[in-house]
Amino acid sequence: LLCILTGGNIDLSVGSVVCFVGAIGAVLMVNMKMNMWLAILIMFVIGTLIGAFQGFWIAYVRIPPFIVTLAGMFFGRGMTSIISTDMISIKNELFLKWANYRFYMPFGSTSKKGKFIPAYIPPTVVIALIVVILIAVLLKYRKFGRKLYAIGGSRQSALMMGLNVKKTIFNAYVLDGFLAGLGGFLFCLN
């Protein structure tokens, strides 16, 4: 969404980066027995670096976003298949506690035997809702969001207003990469 708001820019690589980052996190926790928090940090850093790499080529070198992110998509897919072609089952205790945690609601349904089954929300949904709210606030009330809308409206007008268009587009792709890293983490939790 952030990249699209800048006016025609797109990121085709998000899904592949999410899978790539998720595969890295799984390999780090399972094969290398790494601490969950360090693995998550590495996942965020890799997603952010991929976003920064793509953002540099799009914003400063002016290669069309379609070409750069298509290459990023193929990179993410290829690296994921190099890391592992099999499904990796994460057995880290702390990670499993996070993955299996549920926020139970006071309402629910009743089974055929008359047992009350409460409705629940997994932590991935809560994290995703928090991110959506934060991005909505960023876009509506922060300078960065207004810059994105201004660039999307007219790049030339944004330049005439004195906005640093290249830096803003670059930052949009960096944030997009960070969110792809977060998506990789949430993908692992499911």
What tens digit of pLDDT does each residue of 21-37 get?
Answer: 999 999 999 888 888 89
- Token pair, residue 89, equals 């089952």
CA neighbor of 94 nearest in space, from 181, 189, 27, 21: 189
Tens-digit pLDDT profile for residues 155-184: 899 999 999 999 999 999 999 999 999 999
The CA distances from residue 153 to 5, 12, 150, 165, in Å, are 8, 22, 5, 12
Q: How large is the average pLDDT for residues 38-66?
A: 95
Report the predicted TM-score, pTM, of the whole model to 2 decimal places: 0.88
Planar angle of CA 29, 31, 32, nearest 5 degrees: 70
The CA distances from residue 126 to 41, 57, 123, 132, in Å, are 20, 34, 5, 10
Query: Residue 47 carries which side chain, given as an amino acid letter?
Result: G
